[in-house]
Chains A and B, each alone.
Chain A
Amino acid sequence: MSNAATHAGTHDHDHSHDHHDHGGWTRYFTTTNHKDIGTMYLWFAFIMFFVGGSMALLLRAELFSPGLQIVQPEIFNSLTTVHALVMIFGAVMPAFVGFANWLIPMQVGAADMAFPRMNNWSFWIMIPASILLMASFFVPGGAAASGWTLYPPLVTQGGIGTDMTILAIHLLGASSIMGSINIITTILNLRAPGMTLMKMPLFCWTWLITAYLLIATMPVLAGAITMLLTDRHFGTSFFNAAGGGDPTMFMHIFWFFGHPEVYILILPAFGIVSQIIPAFARKPLFGYASMVYATAAIAILSFIVWGHHMFTVGMPAAGQLFFMYATMLIAVPTGVKIFNWISTMWRGSMTFETPMLFCIGFLCMFTLGGFSGLVLSIAAVDITLHNTYYVVAHFHYVLFPGAIWGLTAGVYFWLPKFTGKMYNETLGKWHFWISAIAFNITFFPQHFLGLAGMPRRIPDYALQFTEWNQISTVGAFLLGASQLIFLYNVVTTIRSGEKAKDKQWEAADSLEWTHLPSPAPYHTFETAPVIK
């Protein structure tokens, strides 16, 4: 297993012709290669990450002081809405699919994804979707301003930009479903001989479970936004009390999708972290089987907790109690994972390269976000904290150091395998430490703001909130700037990085490290490796 480079299915010949044989950059339009498609996904996500981040900075700039300075309230609402949609559907999810494309075939020992053409389609569908979403800023009435949750009745009043957003989400959902079907089929049907399910790297496992979440929930979201569309244009009354419907109904249907969605945004990051920590602790992952079962448990529980997003809508006490306890239950499998990661590091022979730093940062900060989630799960507490900045702080603690740092760790970890070049370790460490400090400057004060009662999604605020908002804004710009170090590091690595070793991380044990050279050739495992 350890003698890399020339082992099964690698074609040095192919590799040397990579950029000639496959038709230059125009090949990306028609490509059916999982690595090409993964690269497109990753760059798309990276660009959208900066687009969404710029919107966040505009919001923070507006919130630097009370009163209105930079943007009008309508634009503020649109920016809030589209920032969320771009980050969720444009940055985090495509980035995970990008990794899935690059890694899953290599990690299970397959030559490509099960459906290469559909794979390319699921990427290219995102292009019209993002055009619709972005163009909605420039139509009369502006982009959707209802928040990413698209609650009626506000959303029923929006202009044409709201329709563009809805159609964009339809397309993105179709793309996700196709991507998920591809991933499930690849994992279930294309594994190399001997690669049993319980030998798969955890990234494959978490993606398999994520794909099921996507297939089960994306169509429900499609149904919900279709009802919005017909309520807006065709006179239906799903969410209109005058016609016997109920706006609360939308919230139930939406969060039936929405809560599994937040696990869709974190589970693949769990998988990435579960592969990186053992590599730098130089110990096998502690409790592999329990990691798999915990991931499945989180996924199953995610379908019965949606009500905790709506404790304040006037839910019966029995409903509040059910959703409260069900939500708290999720802390158990999540705790299993956290302790397994810590146990993996326990007495490990640890080094702290950039991917490991991001994973340790993930572990600390994500746990904090999990704790504030537990606080919010308590129905009685949530009633005062609902729609305050405490909620904003909570979900940014799980999404930024959770999803984004998981992805960032993944980029640093696998960049040598993807490009054959080594990134600049010093810059990587700067990126981590500035991000870590700036992130906490940005979002920790928001806990205080929320506890003090500052509502979210409001461009103006009372004077007593000024200081913490100013600190938060300063942190946000620093956080944004630190991502430029990331971009610079990635670009310079690709252009002029030092040559990476085939097995850059000596304790990494998945097939892409043990069986393949760096960079991984265009075609890999045309002959399936045999796993012992």
Chain B
Amino acid sequence: MSTAAGGYYFAPPSKWPVVGSTALFFFASGLVLWMNQIQPWGNVSLVIGLAILFYMLFGWFGNVIHESEAGMYNKQVDTSYRWSMSWFIFSEVMFFAAFFGALFYARVFSVPWLGDFDNALLWQGYDARWPTAGPYLDKDPARAFATMGAWGIPALNTALLLSSGVTVTWAHHALKAGNRGQLVFGLFLTVLLGFIFLGFQVYEYVHAYSELNLKLTSGVFGSTFFMLTGFHGFHVTLGAIMLTVIMFRCMKGHFKPDHHFGFEAVAWYWHFVDVVWLGLFVFVYVLV
């Protein structure tokens, strides 16, 4: 059975789930081995895992794209995709919420507590002010770090991402109006802005490590700074790759003015990473 009488497309048997699980087995094992410096098995397992994962992603998405272009997805299938993408993005929001929660908890509770009267004996003279690397690490002058100014690259990055939100919407309107040239150009601009953003992030990290002495190991400030911006950067990377795929699909003539959820899903995702960035800009960069 691939299609029920109502027209809803149910996929026939597929090897991709098992292939994907195999990939995850090698990837997770590789990560464990790599973190514990068990080499070369760690790297070998990671490479095998990633290779199978890419094979799976190409194959599985390839199937979905083929089915979609063959017109097998009716309105109801489209609605399923809308529900699922919405709740997937919500799950991503909750993932970031854990890290924002850690940031707020450290700033509001754990750092002030470490500097209060209860801890005066244990951490004498600790100046519990944000940014901090904590009462012990702060004592080491070699670990002294400076923070990233908000109004240089981060402000520029904010402008870049917000503009990319505009260009992707412009492309969307072009898609609905059937203007393919403008669609591809809008997507191209979006992808370009995304990759410029990523380039700036890389530059900023290099700058932080080499000149500000701000590192992942710089206490709780470094931890929250790099984990939040790092996971965000990772999501921007995924979003930019997905946008690139969508751009190439548009160039091949995929999508119709009234049937293009693949495009919309990626646009939603792009807006999501945009909104997360605004949270980061305010709480990680501006309100230091």
B5 touches A527 (CB 8 A): yes
Give Cα distance in the complex from A226 to B94, angstroms: 14
Question: What residue in chain A is nearest B130 (Cβ atoms)?
Answer: A244
Chain A 228-255 per-residue mask, 1 if CB under 8 angstroms from chain B, else 0 = 0110111111101111111011001100
The stretch that binds B, out of A109-117, A421-429, A500-508, is A109-117
Asked if B84 is at the interface of the complex by the 8 Å CB criterion, the answer is yes
Give chain A residues whose Cβ lies under 8 Å from the Cβ of B29: 128, 132, 167
The stretch that binds B, out of A27-35, A198-206, A325-333, A473-481, is A27-35
B137 touches A242 (CB 8 A): yes
Give Cα distance in the complex from A240 to B110, angstroms: 10
Give Cα distance in the complex from A223 to B96, angstroms: 8
Give chain B residues whose Cβ lies under 8 Å from the Cβ of A7: none
Give Cα distance in the complex from A527 to B5, angstroms: 5
Give chain A residues whose Cβ lies under 8 Å from the Cβ of B1: 111, 523, 526
Contact of B36 among A160, A180, A188, A243 (CB under 8 A): A160
Give Cα distance in the complex from A525 to B20, angstroms: 30
Do A189 and B76 contact each other (CB < 8 Å), given the known contacts A163-B35, A220-B95, A245-B220? yes
Question: What residue in chain A is nearest B32 (Cβ atoms)?
Answer: A163
B13 touches A32 (CB 8 A): yes
Contact of B134 among A23, A31, A243 (CB under 8 A): A243
Give Cα distance in the complex from A125 to B24, angstroms: 8
A244 touches B83 (CB 8 A): no
B28 touches A171 (CB 8 A): yes
Give Cα distance in the complex from A127 to B28, angstroms: 12
B227 touches A219 (CB 8 A): no
Give chain A residues whose Cβ lies under 8 Å from the Cβ of B91: 177, 181, 215-216, 218-219
A230 touches B18 (CB 8 A): no
Give chain B residues whose Cβ lies under 8 Å from the Cβ of A163: 31-32, 35-36
B98 touches A220 (CB 8 A): yes
**B91-139: which have CB < 8 Å to A?**
91-99, 101-102, 105-106, 109-111, 113-114, 132-138
A189 touches B94 (CB 8 A): no
B102 touches A120 (CB 8 A): no
Contact of B80 among A111, A114, A128, A246 (CB under 8 A): A114
Asked if B149 is at the interface of the complex by the 8 Å CB criterion, the answer is no
B84 touches A241 (CB 8 A): no
Main secondary structure of the interface of B (DSSP, over half): helix
Asked if B222 is at the interface of the complex by the 8 Å CB criterion, the answer is yes
Asked if A170 is at the interface of the complex by the 8 Å CB criterion, the answer is yes
Asked if A95 is at the interface of the complex by the 8 Å CB criterion, the answer is no
Give chain A residues whose Cβ lies under 8 Å from the Cβ of B11: 32, 116-117
Closest Cβ–Cβ distance, residue A143 to chain B (whole Å): 13
Closest Cβ–Cβ distance, residue B32 to chain A (whole Å): 5
Asked if B142 is at the interface of the complex by the 8 Å CB criterion, the answer is no
Give Cα distance in the complex from A237 to B220, angstroms: 5
Give Cα distance in the complex from A523 to B10, angstroms: 11
Asked if A274 is at the interface of the complex by the 8 Å CB criterion, the answer is no
A219 touches B92 (CB 8 A): yes
Give chain B residues whose Cβ lies under 8 Å from the Cβ of A520: none
Asked if B170 is at the interface of the complex by the 8 Å CB criterion, the answer is no
Q: How large is the interface on A (under 10, 10 to 19, 20 to 34, 35 or more residues)?
A: 35 or more
**A190-232: which have CB < 8 Å to B?**
190, 215-220, 222-224, 226-227, 229-230, 232
Question: What residue in chain B is nearest A30 (Cβ atoms)?
Answer: B13
A527 touches B6 (CB 8 A): yes
A215 touches B80 (CB 8 A): no
Asked if B257 is at the interface of the complex by the 8 Å CB criterion, the answer is no
Question: What residue in chain B is nearest A245 (Cβ atoms)?
Answer: B220
Give Cα distance in the complex from A105 to B11, angstroms: 15
Give Cα distance in the complex from A526 to B1, angstroms: 9
Closest Cβ–Cβ distance, residue A402 to chain B (whole Å): 26
Asked if A291 is at the interface of the complex by the 8 Å CB criterion, the answer is no
Do A181 and B87 contact each other (CB < 8 Å), given the known contacts A124-B17, A235-B216, A241-B135? yes
A160 touches B135 (CB 8 A): no
Do A121 and B219 contact each other (CB < 8 Å), given the known contacts A111-B4, A243-B136? no
Give chain B residues whose Cβ lies under 8 Å from the Cβ of A525: 4
Closest Cβ–Cβ distance, residue A266 to chain B (whole Å): 21
Give Cα distance in the complex from A61 to B6, angstroms: 57
Closest Cβ–Cβ distance, residue B15 to chain A (whole Å): 5
Asked if B90 is at the interface of the complex by the 8 Å CB criterion, the answer is yes
Give chain A residues whose Cβ lies under 8 Å from the Cβ of B28: 128-129, 132, 167-168, 170-171
Closest Cβ–Cβ distance, residue B208 to chain A (whole Å): 15
B102 touches A185 (CB 8 A): no
Closest Cβ–Cβ distance, residue B145 to chain A (whole Å): 12
Asked if B221 is at the interface of the complex by the 8 Å CB criterion, the answer is yes
Chain A 309-345 per-residue mask, 1 if CB under 8 angstroms from chain B, else 0 = 0000000000000000000000000000000000000
Asked if B16 is at the interface of the complex by the 8 Å CB criterion, the answer is yes
A242 touches B14 (CB 8 A): no
Chain B 208-223 per-residue mask, 1 if CB under 8 angstroms from chain A, else 0 = 0000000011011111
**17 A–B contact pairs at CB < 8 A?**
A27-B13, A29-B15, A30-B17, A32-B13, A111-B4, A111-B8, A125-B24, A132-B29, A160-B38, A189-B83, A219-B95, A219-B97, A220-B95, A226-B227, A241-B136, A244-B135, A253-B98
Contacts A124-B18, A167-B28, A236-B217 known; list 8 others, CB within 8 Å. A30-B17, A114-B83, A125-B20, A182-B84, A220-B95, A220-B101, A238-B224, A242-B136
B: which residues have CB within 8 A of A? 1, 4-6, 8, 10-18, 20-22, 24-25, 28-29, 31-32, 35-36, 38, 60, 76, 79-80, 83-84, 87-88, 90-99, 101-102, 105-106, 109-111, 113-114, 132-138, 216-217, 219-224, 226-227
Pairs of residues from A and B, 5 with the lowest C-beta to C-beta distance, nearest first: A223-B98, A244-B134, A242-B136, A128-B25, A246-B110
